[in-house]
């Protein structure tokens, strides 16, 4: 069941690889240019010109451009925190993961093999209920990720425009009442 969720950019904390959604504003233009290139190449190809090599090159590069622009959406995680809940948008084609503040046991900074991560860990009871709410494929992906990182949600430092330490401080400042009310542990591993 979807709860109604309204983004309030003045009150909600948005943790995004883009900082501000600048690239998303350019995305419709980039997709339109790619579609125009594909259409123009197809039109020239069907017009019966003698040199089809240039036409196929236009179609190929226009199509590759379209794929690249769509993949930019797919592989970037967007974390939106509000006073009621936390939404994690990992895929533009699927609904976001929704966590209630009451489900979170800890917010951690931890170091992986190559990157620093911000993770959200759930209590065992909340984890069971959270996984039951997820579709089968989403549940399997989360379970596989948890074997490696022991976190339900995590963000890598390499995609973010600001440090994860600053992000964690912002979370603590904005949502201290939720952290206190639900006894959420804030953890940082060595070196932070």
Note the pLDDT of residue 54: 76
Note the pLDDT of residue 177: 94
Backbone angles phi, psi at 64, to 5 degrees: -65, -40
Q: CA distances (Å), 166 to each of 20, 118, 170, in order?
A: 16, 11, 6
Note the pLDDT of residue 2: 39
Quick one: which H or E segment has residue 57? helix 53-74
Note the pLDDT of residue 184: 94
Ramachandran sector of residue 78 (left: φ over 0; alpha: ψ -120 to 50; beta: rest): beta
Note the pLDDT of residue 66: 77
Residues 150 and 110: their CA atoms lie apart, in Å, by 11
Q: Which long-range contacts (CB under 8 A, 24 or more apart) does 48-55 make?
A: none
Strand 85-89, strand 78-81: pairing: antiparallel
* Per-residue confidence in pLDDT tens, the chain, 192 aa: 334 444 455 556 666 544 333 355 666 777 788 888 888 878 877 877 666 777 788 788 788 777 776 666 555 667 888 888 988 876 655 678 889 999 999 998 888 777 788 888 888 888 888 888 888 888 888 888 777 666 777 777 766 667 888 888 888 999 999 999 999 999 876 555
Question: Which residue, among 15, 8, 60, has the nearest Cα to 34 in the 3D structure?
Answer: 60
The three-class DSSP label of residue 96 is: coil
Chain segment 13-24, per-residue pLDDT in tens: 666 544 333 355
Question: What distance, in Å, lies between the first and last C-alpha atoms of the chain?
Answer: 38
């Amino acid at each position: 069941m979807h709860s109604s969720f309204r983004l309030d950019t003045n009150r909600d904390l948005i943790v995004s690889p883009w900082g501000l959604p600048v690239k998303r504003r350019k995305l419709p233009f980039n997709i339109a240019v790619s579609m125009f290139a594909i259409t123009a190449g197809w039109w020239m190809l069907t017009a019966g010109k003698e040199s089809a090599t240039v036409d196929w090159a236009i179609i190929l590069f226009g199509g590759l451009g379209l794929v690249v622009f769509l993949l930019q959406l797919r592989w970037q995680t967007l974390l939106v925190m509000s006073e009621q809940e936390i939404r994690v948008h990992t895929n533009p084609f699927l609904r976001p993961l929704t966590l209630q503040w009451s489900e979170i046991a800890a917010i951690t900074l931890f170091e992986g093999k190559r990157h620093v991560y911000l993770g959200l860990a759930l209590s065992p009871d909340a984890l069971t209920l959270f996984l039951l709410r997820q579709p089968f494929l989403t549940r399997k992906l989360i379970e596989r990720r948890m074997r490696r990182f022991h976190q339900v949600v995590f963000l890598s430092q390499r995609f973010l425009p600001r440090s994860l330490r600053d992000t964690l401080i912002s979370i603590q400042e904005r949502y201290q009442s939720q952290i206190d009310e639900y006894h959420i542990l804030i953890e940082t591993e060595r070196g932070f």
